[in-house]
Amino acid sequence: MDPLSDVLSLLKPRNYMVRGFDVAGPWSIQFAPKDGIKCYSLLAGQCWLAMDGVPDPVQLKSGDCLLLPTRRAFRLASDLALEPVDAMAIVSGAPGGGVASFNGGGECFGIGGWFEFAGKHAEILLGVLPPIVHIRKESDKAELRWCLERMMQELREPQPGGVLVAQHLAHMLLVQLLRLHLEEGLSGGVGWLFALADKQMSAAIYSIHDDPAHRWTLQELGKRAGMSRSTFALKFKQTVGASPMEYLTRWRMLLAGDRLVNSGDPISAIALSLGYESESAFSTAFKRVMGCSPRQYSRGRNPASPSHSEDEAARADRLEPISG
C-alpha cells in the first residue's frame, strides 16, 4: 500500500456516526470536543464556523468541505452572536444515519461524519494537520460531488443497508479530503504527510513503507530520491522532522505494535519480519521508541506515545536494525 493508506489502515478509522443536519432561520449550534476526526460538508446554504483556539471564524458556502482533526469545541451558526444550542439537544431525536432538523429546516443542509480510530497513536495523522482543513476550490468540490450526492440520497431516502453505504462513502470522503489537502502543496509544513507532497521525499517514504524489513542505507534511499546521501539526509530531516533512521525505526515499531495487539504472532516472528535478527535487539528498539517492552504493550500497558529519539550520530551512514 501507499504511505497514506498504510497509516489509515494502521489507525483503523471506523465511522462512529454519519448524520445530516437541516436548519433554518436564526440558528447557532455548539459541538462538544470529541476524540477522532470530524468531516463535514455543506450541501446547501451558508453558515459560519468558529473553533476554540482559532482566532478567526470561517465562512462556509454551499459545497465547502471540512476536516476538523483536533479535539476542540466548535460552533456552526447563521450568526455567531446568537446564543448557541447544544448539538446533542438537536441530534438526539435523529437516529444514527438520520437527519436532524432545527427550526423546520429547509435553508441550510449539511452532512457530518465522526471517525474514531480503533488503532493506537492517532497523532500520527492528527498531529500533522491544522485545526481546520477547509476545501473550497471549485475544482476540488467537483471531485467530491458524487460522493456527497450519494451520501445525501442515502440519508434522505433510507433503503436497506443504507447506513452501511453511508459509512463507506464517508470513509471515501475522508481519504479524498486528505488527498486534496495534499494537492494544495502543504508548503512550509514539517511532517511525513507534508513530505508526501515532495516527489523526492515521497519516493523515499514509499520505499520504506513498501519494504520496512529491508536493511536500508542512506545511499539507497538517496538514490530512490535522486539525491546524494548527504543532501538526502539533510532534506529528509528538514521535511519530515526526523532522520531517515528515526522514521524507519518508528514505522517498524508502529507496525510491530499493531501486530502485538491484533495478530497473536510471537515476538520472535514479528522481530524477524521487520528485519531484526534477534528478539533482544527488537525488544531494545521497541522499548526505546514505544516506551515499554513488547510484552507490556501487548497487554495494554503502553505508557507513552512513540518517541522520536535515536542515536543519529552512531548510525549516520547506515539504516539498519539496532544490534543490541
> Which CATH number belongs to the domain containing residue 261 in this structure?
1.10.10.60
Last residue of a domain, one of 159, 183, 207: 183
Both 56 and 201 in a single domain? no
Both 177 and 209 in a single domain? no
Both 155 and 222 in a single domain? no
What b/e sequence results for 167-204 when a residue is b if at least 16 CB atoms lie within 10 Å of its CB, and e otherwise?
bebbbebbebbbebbeeeebeeeebbbbbbbbebbbeb
Residue 56 confidence (pLDDT): 94
Both 198 and 307 in a single domain? yes
Both 142 and 10 in a single domain? yes
Distance separating alpha carbons of residues 249 and 208, to the nearest angstrom: 10
Residue 213 confidence (pLDDT): 96
Residue 229 confidence (pLDDT): 95
Instruction: Tell me which residue of 129, 111, 84 sits closest to 17, measured CA to CA.
Output: 111
Residue 96 confidence (pLDDT): 56
Domain range for 270 is 192-315
Both 80 and 126 in a single domain? yes
Residue 304 confidence (pLDDT): 47
Q: Is residue 232 part of a domain?
A: yes
Q: What CATH number is associated with residue 100?
A: 2.60.120.10
Are 308 and 294 in contact by the 8 Å Cβ rule? The answer is no
Q: Is residue 321 part of a domain?
A: no
The continuous run of DSSP H or E covering 119 comes out as none
Both 238 and 273 in a single domain? yes
Q: Is residue 242 part of a domain?
A: yes
Q: What is the pLDDT along the chain (324 residues), one digit of tens a residue?
A: 789 889 888 888 876 677 888 999 999 999 999 888 888 889 899 999 999 999 999 999 998 988 898 889 999 999 999 999 999 888 776 655 578 889 999 999 998 888 888 777 788 888 888 899 888 888 888 778 788 778 777 777 888 988 788 778 878 888 888 888 877 655 556 788 888 888 999 999 999 999 999 999 999 999 999 999 999 999 999 999 999 999 999 999 999 999 998 888 999 999 999 999 999 999 999 999 999 999 999 887 555 444 444 343 334 333 333 322
Q: Is residue 323 part of a domain?
A: no
